[in-house]
Amino acid sequence: DSSSGSSGFFSKRTFPGRVPAGIGRKSLRIVVTGGAGFVGCHLVDKLISRGDEVIVIDNFFTGRKENLVHLFGNPRFELIRHDVVEPILLEVDQIYHLACPASPVHYKYNPTNVMGTLNMLGLAKRVGARFLLTSTSEVYGDPLEHPQKETYWGNVNPIGERSCYDEGKRTAETLTMDYHRGADVEVRIARIFNTYGPRMCLDDGRVVSNFVAQVIRNQPMTVYGDGKQARSFQYVSDLVDGLVALMEGEHVGPFNLGNPGEFTMLELAEVVKETIDSSATIEFKPNTADDPHKRKPDISKAKELLNWEPRISLREGLPLMVNDFRNRILNGDEGKGL
């Protein structure tokens, strides 16, 4: 548990039916929107295992019940099928707001970033809960500064194909700060860089899941463009530790949460090949519009103020997702949403 132990300020409200979390710490009631998704389900596991009550709100747009099925029957766990674009009334201490169609294949279809964030901020305001937004490194767009610090304002195309995601998250950050300044809501903002791990959606088109699934299926890895564009890849447990440290800490942020280790897509393909199958091949495909050339977090702020840094390198983390992917592919459980 990376919490600072400073949960005293949650004592403003008490809710009936609370169960003790352990010696010296009252259990919290926590909402995780998007909790049936990739990052959300790992976060929920951590919160449940430290003794808190968790309510997941998810419309299963890209998330899956399978990600949470091991918690069904746990009295401290509830799952609500609900679209956060619609208002909802709950009594809670903390809100981790993850709900978002997070991949280019999905995110065009949904106003979640604006309406969903507004509703969750309205909820936080009404019940005095602390609200954490999972924003993204995409707010930096195709960055002209490298690596990116939180002070960088970004280079985003407002009218491009990716804009509803980038600009949606930028708007979500704006709403979050407006509720903080205007309505005194306690808020936290994380800017998450590319993250991978077990239970990741198999078919949402992100590069690590694509390469790993392709090699397991004996297909060539699809490298977009010349493959020289670079990203930094973070293992999911490092991210979850960072999110909890941010929520429990004293600082609003925004904070970059990512692993500064940088890889081109060709280098990533090489690591996947070494990890899974030395005979794996690659195939070049045209790149998508407005693809950022490179992205790498400067995490000095999170190191200093949250005492957090990632611990798992790409070479250590990749093998940890391969078994999960292999099982799901072999069982025909392709992980589609809905």
Residues recognised as catalytic: 165
Half-sphere exposure of 226 (CA within 13 A, CB side): 4
- For the bound state, the minimum distance from the C-beta of residue 31 to ligand NAD, rounded and expressed in Å, comes to 11
Which partner, ligand UDP, ligand NAD, none, binds residue 100 by CB below 5 to 8 Å per kind? ligand NAD
Which of 28, 47, 100, 164 is the binder for ligand NAD (CB under 6 A)?
Answer: 100
Nearer to ligand NAD by C-beta: 21 or 213? 213
**38 interacts with, out of ligand UDP, ligand NAD, none, CB within 5 to 8 A per kind:** ligand NAD
Q: Whole-number minimum distance, CB 265 to ligand UDP, in Å?
A: 4
8 Å CB contact between 36 and 79: yes
Strand partners, 133: 97, 189
- Residue 247's nearest CA partner among 127, 140, 147, 124 is 124
Q: Which is nearer to ligand NAD, 59 or 275 (CB)?
A: 59
Which runs of E-coded beta strand occur in the chain?
29-33, 53-58, 77-81, 94-97, 130-136, 187-192, 195-196, 221-224, 230-232, 234-235, 255-257, 262-264, 282-285
Interface with ligand UDP by CB under 6 A: which residues? 87-89, 118-119, 122-123, 125-126, 138, 194, 205-207, 210, 222-224, 229, 231, 265, 287-288, 291
Yes or no: say if 325 and 215 are a contact pair by the CB < 8 Å rule.
Answer: no
Distance of CA 237 to the CA centre of its chain: 11
- Cα angle 329-287-330, degrees, rounded to a multiple of 5: 5
Q: Which residues contact 72 (CB under 8 A, 6 or more apart)?
A: 79
Question: Which uninterrupted H or E stretch holds 163?
Answer: helix 163-183
Using DSSP's 3-state secondary structure scheme, residue 118 falls into: helix
Q: From the list ligand UDP, ligand NAD, none, pick the one residue 147 interacts with, judged by a Cβ distance below 5 to 8 Å according to partner type.
A: none
Considering only residues 20-79, where is the footprint of ligand NAD by CB under 6 A? 33-34, 36-40, 57-63
Contact stretch for ligand NAD (CB under 6 A) within 9-17, 96-104, 268-276, 319-327: 96-104
Among residues 74 and 288, whose Cβ is nearest to ligand UDP? 288
* Smallest distance, ligand NAD to C-beta of residue 220, A: 23
Q: 51 and 21 in contact (C-beta within 8 Å)? A: yes
Cα–Cα dist 204/99, whole Å: 15
Give least dist CB 202 to ligand UDP, A. 12
* Beta carbon of residue 151, minimum distance to ligand UDP (angstroms, whole number): 21
Report in angstroms how near the CB of residue 123 gets to ligand UDP at its nearest. Answer: 4
Integer-rounded Cα Rg, in Å, for the chain is: 19
247: how many CB neighbours lie within 10 A of its CB? 23
Query: By rule CB under 6 A, what string of x and - marks binding of each residue 135-154 to ligand NAD?
Result: -x------------------
Residue numbers 199-228 binding ligand NAD by CB under 6 A: 201
Q: Choosing among ligand UDP, ligand NAD, none, which partner's interface includes residue 111 (Cβ < 5 to 8 Å by kind)? A: none
Largest CA distance in the chain: 59
CB of 38 to ligand NAD, least distance (A): 4
Tell me whether residue 84 or residue 156 sits nearer to ligand NAD (CB atom). Answer: 84
Considering beta carbons, is residue 25 or 252 the nearer one to ligand NAD?
252
Q: How far apart are CA 124 and CA 326, in angstroms?
A: 40
CA distances in angstroms from 20 to 44, 51, 198, listed in the order given: 17, 7, 30
- If one asks whether residue 116 binds ligand NAD (CB under 6 A), the answer comes out as yes
Q: Which is nearer to ligand UDP, 2 or 135 (CB)?
A: 135
Binding site for ligand NAD (CB under 6 A): 33-34, 36-40, 57-63, 83-85, 98-102, 110, 112, 116, 134, 136, 192, 194-195, 201, 337
